[in-house]
Amino acid sequence: MDASCLVGATAWALTPLLPVFGARAVLPAIVGGLLLGLALAVVGAWRRWSALGVLAAVLVVYLVAGGALAAPTTTLRGVLPGAGTAAALARGIVTAWSQVVTLQPPLGSGGTLLVAPFVLALVGATVAVTLALRAARPGTAALAALVPVGVAVAAALLGTRTPPVPPAVTGTVLLVVLGGWASWRAGLLRPRRVLALALVLAVAVGAGAVGGARLVDERPRFVLRDEIVPPFDPNDYPSPLAAFRAFVKDEDTVMFTVSGLPEGARIRLATLDRYDGVVWNVAGGGTAQASGEFRRVGELIPTSAAGQRATIQVQVRALSGVWLPTVGRATGIDVAGADASGLRFNDATGAAVLTGGVHDGLRYTLDVVVPATPTVVALGATPAASVALPQAVGVPSRIDSLAPQIARDAGNPAEVAQALSQWLVENGYFSHGLSGEESSLSGHGAARLAGFLESDVIVGDGEQYAATMALLARSMGLPARVVLGFVPGSAVGGDGTPTVDADGAVEVTGGDVQAWVEVAFAGYGWVPFDATPPAAKTVDPNPDPKPADPLPQVVQPPPPAQPDVAPPDDDTAQPDSMPDPDPDRGHPTWLVVLGWTGVGAAGLLVLLSPVLVIGALKVRRRRRRRRAPDPVTTVAGGWDEVMDAAVDLRRPPAPRATRREAARAVAASFLAAPSERRAPVATALVGLADRADRAVFRAGVPTPDEVGAFWAEVQRTATAMRASATRRERLRARYSTASLRRGGR
């Protein structure tokens, strides 16, 4: 009787959760939790376990059975616990509750969402039945009826405004069942008093089904999901960079006005650091430094940035969406009116959003710090900052092969970033693809960027150039991200001077939209780099110059007549018996110079022949490894190429070491170098060793794409290793025979 009433009442109390997850998804968790809780309570009462023993048993059952019932996506074949099941269940006991009330029903069975109903069923059944079976007094045992009531309250708070069973019916059934059981369990129920019992039941049913419904009929049902505002997720909105051409088409439309903007300051709209092969977008939330983690802020926003302080007033005109224009590093944002409740700010990027959307007439004030932009000379040998950024996926293969070629002569990270931006500016042409301009498609997906770089003439606008440079910088190991914003006065066809309205505010139009790249440097933060050619640099439709006009033909006068000269009567010349003092007489000067030049070149070639032979042997060795017929041999040869580079730099790996051991030894030798020459090669070496081991020892053979990507990483790693050495060490390594001798042994 105890088990039937309490477990049945607990199951009835959990019915509000059916529409939250979906009946098919949540029923296994609820039924399994109730049965396991009942079994634990019965076994604990039979074996007389202590309270700590019952608690320990509940935890064990939760971890063992919770994978299949509450986190099926983390298990093997939906039943056996996987490697991450225990950790997921440990996190879910804390995070599942907030996820249930912030996500839109039906939630399904993904992740650890089912932890909430499973825990309510398991703990509710265990506590209720244990208390009923083991209480020393009947009155104390009757208190177990309060446990299903508590479960019903929790389920109602986690449920929806319209549960599958009307609340009046749910409450009435619980009142009748639990009230009757508690009275019977406490010894107060007298079945012989039929009239009194019937009256009590009638009053209970009437109070619950009729009176309660009338009292709360005009009030909405209280549920937590209606009171809690879900966190802002920018991934619910399209990528702002994808709207670049939409701004360009509204080039004469005033998007917003700003007052108090410092000279040369840029206006940030969105900062994007995740590339998925389709668009640049913000990364997901979860950490304080994630670009997608937006939080509520008060009047003051702490910042450690130094620079020019300013107070800026912004009034929105035609701008739409959720992104709020900001400048520099904000120390305070004051949004006027009811829109203030929707303000969210990201500390990692300095971007801001308005969850309700920006609209015409919106006014807000920014207290900002505008840091000075350091030059490449000022950055010097400053290393790149250690910033955790999402891994770029779907990157065109042309990026990995082109980046090392562009930056081959660059030394420190600042010079690498400058080389990448200058190459795009010098080799590219500008076009929005509008009527009368050179054809240029919008978008920055992998196919668009591949065609952008592989075409005979590189043509695009800020969208393509910023997206490309960020991927090139990422390929060279630099932490880079794309920024979409505005630069007042930069519209095509303008004179560079911003337009000012009657109130003295700067008008920012759609034509002022710009995209640039930011690279993080230690001690300096994010430094902007522009990779877009100037708007005046367009493709010349007539590249062939016109032929010069030929000169008119003029009839030339005949040459004057020469006077007649009489030949001598006798040849008075006598033969010269003296030798010719000029031994080169009779040979042209250019032939003499050419001969001596050939002699000098031959001598120089003889002197340089050892160096040339060493270089040729290394090139031949690299080609033989790269073109090996077996893909596994090709991958292994790539790893040998990296180790040979380390040997020539006098940082040899340990003898007879595995690839991972060799990678760690070589990485340690680079980390031991002076700080100004330290290179980020440790992670690259270990990752390269792991990839080589997987290719060599796994079943099957690597695909051609995998082999190509591996050799591209080999080239980047070898370049980074050489960049960490001094000029003298690089020159010595180029012509060292250490790796050739190593190969022979």
- As to burial, measured by CB atoms within 10 angstroms (0-12 exposed, 13-18 middle, 19+ buried), residue 434 is middle
Residues 6+ apart with CB under 8 A from 225: 100, 101, 102, 158, 160
Report the candidate in 518, 501, 504, 226 with the shortest Cα–Cα distance to residue 387.
518
Q: How many CB atoms lie within 10 A of CB 408?
A: 11
Whole-number Å distance between alpha carbons of 492 and 431: 10
Regions of the chain short of the pLDDT cut 50: 286-288, 547-549, 551, 571-586, 675-677
- For 485, other C-beta atoms within 10 Å of its C-beta total 24
Q: Which residues of 584-622 are buried (b: 16+ CB within 10 A; e: fewer)?
A: eeeeeeeeeeeeeeeeeeeeeeeeeeeeeebeeebeebb
Amino acid 227: pLDDT: 61
pLDDT of residue 108: 79
525 phi-psi bin (left φ>0, alpha ψ -120 to 50, beta other): left
The structure's pTM equals 0.51
Q: Identity (one letter) of the amino acid at 395? A: V
Please compute, for residue 246, the number of CA atoms within 13 A of its CA located in the half-sphere on the CB side.
12
* Distance between CA atoms of residues 153 and 99, nearest Å: 18
The rounded distance, in Å, linking the Cα atoms of 83 and 77 is 13
Cβ-proximal residues to 58 (8 Å cutoff; 6+ apart), any chain: 37, 40, 122, 123, 126
d(CA 21, CA 96): 12
Would you say 427 and 469 are in contact if contact means Cβ atoms under 8 Å apart?
Answer: no
Question: SS3 of 329, please?
Answer: strand
Residue 452 to residue 636: CA distance in whole angstroms? 33
Q: CB within 8 A of 347, min separation 6: which ones?
A: 288, 289, 293, 295, 301
Q: What is the C-alpha end-to-end distance of the chain, expressed in Å?
A: 84
Residue ranges of domains in the chain: 2-226, 234-372, 377-529, 603-744
How far is CA 467 from its chain centroid? Answer: 13
Residue 79 tokens read as 């039943």
The Cα–Cα gap between 726 and 677 comes to 8
Q: Return the DSSP state at 280.
A: E
- Scanning 48-144, the segments in alpha helix (DSSP H) are 51-70, 85-102, 115-134, 138-142
Q: Are 725 and 733 in contact (CB under 8 A)?
A: yes
Q: How far is Cα 285 from Cα 287, in angstroms, rounded to an integer?
A: 6
Beta strand pairing call for 267-272 and 480-486: antiparallel
The predicted pLDDT at position 577 comes to 46
Tokens of 691: 């990839």
How many Å apart are CA 697 and CA 12, to the nearest integer? 56
Report yes or no: 256 and 513 within 8 Å, Cβ to Cβ. no
The answer to whether 458 and 563 have CB atoms below 8 angstroms apart is: no
C-alpha 676/C-alpha 48 separation (Å) is 69
Q: How far is 221 from 157, CA to CA, in rounded Å?
A: 9
**To which H or E segment does residue 364 belong?**
strand 363-370
Three-class DSSP category at 474: helix
Residue 508, Ramachandran bin (φ over 0: left; ψ between -120 and 50: alpha; else beta): beta
Structure tokens given for 376? 């490449």
Whether the ω angle into residue 240 lies within 30 degrees of 0, i.e. cis, is no
Can you tell me the distance from the alpha carbon of 659 to that of 666, in angstroms, rounded to the nearest whole number?
10
User: How far is the C-alpha of 396 from the C-alpha of 329, rounded, in Å?
Assistant: 33
- Confidence at residue 95, expressed as pLDDT on a 0 to 100 scale: 84
CA distance 495 to 488: 11
| CATH class for the domain made up of 377-529 | alpha beta
How many angstroms separate the CA atoms of 74 and 163, rounded? 29
Q: Please tell me the distance from the alpha carbon of residue 637 to that of residue 620, in angstroms, as a whole number.
A: 13
In eight-state DSSP terms, residue 144 is: G
- Three-class SS of residue 526? strand
Residue with tokens 């009923």: 132
pLDDT tens column, 327-378: 999 988 988 877 887 888 888 888 999 988 899 999 999 999 999 999 999 9
Instruction: Decide if 26 contacts 17 (C-beta within 8 A).
Output: yes
User: In sequence order, which residues have a C-beta less than 8 Å from that of residue 297 and are 6 or more positions away?
Assistant: 333, 343, 344, 345
Backbone angles phi, psi at 387, to 5 degrees: -125, 130
Q: How far apart are CA 252 and CA 491, in angstroms?
A: 9
What pLDDT does residue 30 have? Answer: 93
pLDDT of 670 reads 74
List the one residue out of 36, 240, 63 whose CA is nearest residue 129: 36
Q: Among candidates 705, 667, 671, 662, which has minimal Cα distance to 684? A: 667
